[in-house]
Every structure is written in C-alpha cells, then in structure tokens.
Homo-oligomer: A and B are copies of this chain.
Amino acid sequence: MIGGGEGAFIGAVHRIAAQIDNQYELVCGAFSSDAEKSRRSGQALGISNDRVYASYQELFERENLLPPAERVEVISIVTPNHLHFQPAKLALENGYHVILDKPMTFSLEEAIELKQIAGKSGRSFCLTHTYTGYPMIKEARHFIRSGQLGTIKKIYVEYPQGWLSTFEEGKDNKQAAWRTDPQKSGIAGAMGDIGTHAFNLAEYVSNLQVSKLCADINTVVEGRRLDDDGTVLLKFSNGASGMLLATQVAAGEENNLRIRVYGENGGIEWQQSDANTLQVKWLNKPAEVWRTGSAYLSSYAQHNTRTPAGHPEGYLEAFANLYRNFALTVKAGLEGRVPEEEWLDFPGAEEGVRGMAFIEHVIRSGQSAEKWTDFNI
C-alpha cells in the first residue's frame, strides 16, 4: 500500500475492503511521504518493520530485490491525486498489479499515458469507483443492458454532500485541505472528488457514453480555491439526455448518491442510503422492489453479495467487491484460467481516462459562454 497512513480516511477503507474476503494480505507499505509517519503507521498495522518503506520509490527498489514468491503482488495506491501517476507507473513498469484510488491522475494527459502503460504492462489495473461495486448497481447495469426498459431516454445522477458547506480547509481538516488544493487535487474540487463518481456511475449503469455536456460550476464557499458545486446537463451517445449534480455545499446532506435511468418502458432508481434495494418502475404496471440476496437476481448481483436477503451490506462490501473481483481476475491470470465475466466487472484504465476527461470537459464548460461542449476522448 502506498499512502493511507495515520489520519487518512480512504486508506483504512481500502484495507478493510481487502480483508473482508480474505483474498489479500497486507505485507508492505509506504504509508506516508514522512518516513517516520510511514514507520509508525506500518507498525500500527502489524507489518514487519523491514517492509515498511520511507517512500514509494524505496518500496519498489526493495521489493524488487525480494524473491518473486515473497514479493508483494498487488499495489494499492491511496494517495491524493497528485501522487497517483508516478507510483502507479512505477508499479506497473515493475510488474505489479495496481489498485488505484480515483480520480485516476492529476491531469488527463497523465491518465492517457497511464492507460497506455497499463496496457503494455500486461498487469491488471483497477480504479476504485466504489459505487459500481454495489450489487444492485450491477443489477441495474445488466438489467438495462438486457433491453427490457427499451431505448434509454433519461439519466439523472446526483451526488449531494454537505461537509464542505463551511471553510473546512481553514480548520485543520486534512481531508478538506488536500481536496481543495489545486496543487494536490488538480483543476477540479467537487467535480473530481465526487463528480467523477457520479459520471462513472451514469455511464456504467446506462451502458451509454456522454457525448456533450453543459456545466454550471461554482465555488460557493468564500475563499475556496476549487469548485465545490456543479450541475451539468448531459447528452449521451444514443441521443438520451440527462443531468449530473454534484455538490459539497448542500448543508445537511451526507453522501446521498442517487441514480435514475428511464427507458421507453420504465425506469430504475437506486440510492446509496438504501443500497440493498433497486426500484424498478414500469409504465403501466406496479413498481417492483428488487433486493440483494434474492434468488431472482442476475449472477452479477448474486456474485457480489455475501448474505441472504434482509441482511444489509453496505459501502465497505461494495468496495470489497472491487478488491475481490480484482483478486479473482489476477489469480485466474496467474493460474492460466479465463476469468469469469462477473470477475472482470471492475473499473479500469478506460474508466479512469473517461473520468479525467470528464474533469477537463466539465471545468472547461463551466468557463465557457457556449452552451454545449463536445465530449471528445
């Protein structure tokens, strides 16, 4: 693991996600760019001292020297955005599989390059767009792909948070500080942090791609250096239209991701606060309530659920699904087996590049006086 030391949020989430299904063992790490902090973090995590490194460069140098059987196999990178590209590049080029937190990189250029590196490396690459790990999101995607809703017409995705409603970056809030710092986050704040999740979810569930967009991007809190709010009109490859809303200044909201997709015959609705339910609505029939753990669901939902209906799973299990599918895929590769289609269903470099393209386009559109900005990548 690179990053995720003391005080980090997402690093701990990654570790739990890796542990739940007993497919990973945490064997080494460079947990902080501060060598002493890295050491303390490694110790707290029970890692052998000789495999806690002072930097990611050292990690690769030293791990490479170990006999292959002892060497780490998969590298998780959970650093702020400006520290995604270099360690991911090094990892892939040194033959490690990579799990990388989103957004993929600091800039679109880096993302495109990293995708090429990943492609050439022959190694597996996963970008942790957590929400696509929810079983009912997978069900929604595969249900829509089945065509039962007819041609898709409307896609609404929204991601309201409220935790940046005040100037948190002035209050020693580490999570707020790097996310609102252009040197660490890149050109976008909320749009990179949560907008990319919403964008990824919309494309994943609808099986469509955004073709143009029109963005209203705002910095609501005074003194903030990056956007903390935005609403985006969307056009999709098949002519469907939609809307993406991502804000971190909806005071009183937690993390209320929600998606609705409508086709000619009906629609689906899912929201994270009721993650084990998929609402399926029909034009002239009663709406249905599809629930995780039910025998009537597709193999995609069932494969990504651990418990019977009525035993709720949540965010950590969604995250763990990415880790598990990645592990199953990597293992299949190591053992020369063809991975199942359900295992391969995790976000990768292509999704990463599109996410970075979203950031570039949405910020550019936000600054433009023209209504539509074509989405080209």
Contact = CB atoms under 8 A, between A and B. Distances in A.
Contact of A316 (B20, B229, B286, B288): B20
A227 to B, nearest CB: 12
Contact of A154 (B16, B21, B229, B264): B229
Contact of A310 (B241, B273, B284): B273
A369 B294 CA distance: 41
Interface string A150-186: 0001101000111101100000000000000000000
B309 A254 contact: yes
B273 A280 contact: no
Contact of A314 (B233, B313, B369): B313
Interface in A264-318: 264-267, 272-276, 280-291, 293-296, 306-317
Contacts of A229: 153-154, 241
A253 B281 contact: yes
A311 B314 contact: yes
A163 B316 CA distance: 27
A54 interface: no
Interface in A1-22: 9, 12-13, 15-16, 19-22
A368 interface: yes
Contacts of A160: 260
Nearest to A9: B308
A132 interface: no
A249 interface: yes
B233 A214 contact: yes
Contact of A281 (B12, B251, B284): B251
B251 A241 contact: no
25 contacts: A19-B20, A214-B214, A214-B233, A216-B235, A243-B243, A243-B245, A250-B260, A251-B262, A251-B267, A252-B287, A253-B262, A253-B310, A254-B308, A254-B310, A272-B310, A273-B310, A286-B288, A287-B289, A289-B289, A312-B312, A314-B317, A316-B317, A369-B370, A369-B372, A370-B371
